[in-house]
Amino acid sequence: MFKSIRLSLLAGCIAATCQAWAAPAGDLPLMPWPQEVNRPAAEGTLQIDNAISIKISGDKLPGAIDRWRQRISQQTGWQLQPAQANSAKPTIDIQIKKAIAPLPKLDSDESYELSVTADGVKLTANTRFGAMRGMETLLQLIQNGPDNTAIPFVSIKDQPRFPWRGLLIDSARHFMPIKDILRQLDGMAAAKMNVLHWHLTDDQGWRFASTAYPKLQQLASDGDFYTQAQMKEVVRYAASLGIRVVPEMDLPGHASAIAVAYPELMSAPGPYQMERHWGVLKPLLNPTNDAAYKFVDTLIGELTAIFPDSYLHIGGDEVDDEHWQKSTEIQAFMKQHNLADTHALQTYFNQRLEKILEKHHRQMMGWDEIYHPDLPKSILIQSWQGQDALGAVAANGYKGILSTGFYLDQPQSTAYHYRNEVLPQGLNGVDEIADADSAQSWFFSMPRLKGSAVEGSFTLVNGKTTWRGFIDFKGKSRRAVRDIEWLSPTQVKFTVDTWMGETRPVLTLDKDKLSGYLLVGNVRYPTTGQKLDAVPDGIQPVVPTPEQMSNIIGGEAALWAENVASPLLDIKLWPRAFAVAERLWSAEDVKDIDNMYQRLQAIDAWSTVSVGLQQHAAAAEQMTRLAGSTEIMPLQILAQAVEPAQYYTRQHLKFQAGNYHHFEPLNRFADALSAESNQVRALDAWVDKLIADPEDGNSADSLRHTFARWQSNTPDVLELINGNYQLKALKPVAENVDKLAGIGLRLTDLVAKQGNLSADEVQGIQKQLDDAAQTQDEVVIAAVYPLQKLLRASVK
């Protein structure tokens, strides 16, 4: 008898307040979590040794058995015995029902069934692509235990939730060598992602070789570009892993590189030079020039000869229309063709572009800005503007995918990406205010380091027994907030996921004035405002009908490269991309955060050993350079307490300093760090347990041990900091971590002994926490926030 352990909501949970979700039974280290997992009541394992054998029937997968055997060898450390040809009783029996063409497609069948019993492993799939996905699941199940290497008895039925599960890699802003691209394909396959979206052109560089227009690579690439043979190599290798490759050629904007090589195609005469700065820039192709369409037609022909996928991405985003507006020739053209504005002009360009793509048997794909009812329903919209934009696309019969909330170039917690549901969600009545409710609404303004202030309002509703609330950011739809907590009669905090990341306002509402800060990720942004006389109307989320929802076919993680160079690629992508992959593959109700982190830790180790991803090796290399020695433990211990400044804070700081450009070195301590500190997460959990039970000696001891380690590390890390000018700005960070460790030791003892602090002591410690929370050298001491909890628990 098997017991089902498919994840689902605990019975009786109320959507607005439920925190407890059913978790996978046992400790299977699987990610993405399969649709259905069953374990036998009498759990057992299939012990394996170096005589393990693999057999494939029903289709030919050249090189697959050798690749999988190598992976098993890496996971176990064994020298495997020579492979047996056509073994009568293989350890792993892979049966594919139908032989098909080797190139993956949007509608490729990726389902599989996996059974592990005492008789061996049986993997069945309708196609080669399902077999590939099933083998990744099996490889995750191979465990080196206390007594042997074994695979747990299990029965799995699995298929993806969405057919489009992509990763965008930006090779235009910082060039990514082929070996690094190939390694990311290995990681994608391990995470069951199936689309590499390759961003090949942008203002700062043209990265694919053109035979017809060679000045593109000669003048606009700094010598860093892919040959046609190299791109074909990527396509071949990706196909062998069941991954499609969709190239992006950004048109008509993000075109500074084109302007350098062929200025005669542009909307303004130039002259043009290689663009070194990041941002939205002005050069645009001239949509009134027939030569521009011949140029695009020829390049699309070259791309389709390399990339066989049915989609070709034309970008289309962030068109600054200044050059169009200032051109008398273009303005006359618009008048002649009854084009009301430059958006209509861009649509005219896209209509002609779509015909060119159709001629080459390709479907148009682009960002939100290309969406227009005059384009055919065959186009695919990739949304960076969010679920509302995606919902509108789907409601109007167009297909779309989501990238908002999956930007991995931004340091964000994995939990934030994991909570990012692809399908638009309604408010479930959270903003319906009954007669018995009392509500208060507040306007707020949060200045940013670059760009306009973030403004809006929030409303807190006292439902007599519980608080609920919602927030209205200017120009965006209403969102429910969660975890409302009144810290005092006038101070409140709550949490909401926004396009900026997890956002946690900590605000003082004193009479009619608002003050405090919005904690965006881990960075404090001072905020002011005032009370409103009435609850604002707000904008309701765009939620398509269930039938229209089927137009939303998946999503893509995005790794933009302003702050990412090739040595940092793995640090930024892995293991977080596995959590995005799970959101796109697994059932919607697979969403337990704690369980996700538990499995992610196992997958982090597995992907390093089995897949060969380099997130840990790359971080160690960066720290070795900074330390000038292989003795990097002091920096690694310091890294436990800090995180890179999250959201776009690092980019905005570089912009303020005049360093937001290609030559700004990505050589800081912040660049060597993963997006979040696992140690701070552990601290936070120990603090919660200690506050809930002051007699929890294990949590108290764990906190003391961590704080003592940080204190004892201070002399060693300061010696390294003083020895390298690239670390000098970190000195206040190291000194603050030392002070915070001392505060942590004291507060831990106070909470454990149920003592309390005087008002003056609380004020003094609070000031030290506030000072230590400030961004320094693009990092934040994230340990401030567990300590803030301890401080509040020390006030009776």
* Active site members: 318
Compute the distance between CA of residue 740 and CA of residue 751 in angstroms, rounded to an integer.
16
Compute the distance between CA of residue 249 and CA of residue 172 in angstroms, rounded to an integer.
10
Asked whether the CA dihedral 180, 181, 183, 187 is positive or negative, the reply is positive
Compute the distance between CA of residue 31 and CA of residue 139 in angstroms, rounded to an integer.
11
Compute the distance between CA of residue 560 and CA of residue 167 in angstroms, rounded to an integer.
11
Q: What single-letter amino acid sits at 120?
A: G
Compute the distance between CA of residue 258 and CA of residue 172 in angstroms, rounded to an integer.
12
Q: 31 near 139, Cβ under 8 Å?
A: no
Nearest CA among 1, 31, 15 for reference residue 600: 31
Nearest CA among 445, 444, 446 for reference residue 458: 444
DSSP string across 147-199: S-EEEE-EEEEE--S-SEEEEEEE-SSS---HHHHHHHHHHHHHTT--EEEEE
Residues 6+ apart with CB under 8 A from 516: 491, 505, 506, 507, 508, 526, 527
Compute the distance between CA of residue 243 and CA of residue 104 in angstroms, rounded to an integer.
6
Q: What single-letter amino acid sits at 398?
A: Y
Backbone angles phi, psi at 653, to 5 degrees: -65, -40
CA diameter of the chain? 81
Tell me the helices (H) and strands (E) count for the chain, helix number first: 24, 31
Q: 459 near 440, Cβ under 8 Å?
A: yes
Compute the distance between CA of residue 575 and CA of residue 120 in angstroms, rounded to an integer.
30
Compute the distance between CA of residue 404 and CA of residue 385 in angstroms, rounded to an integer.
6
Q: 743 near 768, Cβ under 8 Å?
A: yes
DSSP 221: S
Nearest CA among 640, 681, 624 for reference residue 779: 640
Q: 527 near 517, Cβ under 8 Å?
A: yes
Cα 126 to chain centroid, rounded: 31
Q: Tokens in use for 422?
A: 């692809």
Compute the distance between CA of residue 159 and CA of residue 122 in angstroms, rounded to an integer.
17
Q: Can you give 731-786 as a three-state secondary structure string? A: HHHHHHHHHHHHHHHHHHHHHHCCCCCCHHHHHHHHHHHHHHCCCECCEECCCHHH
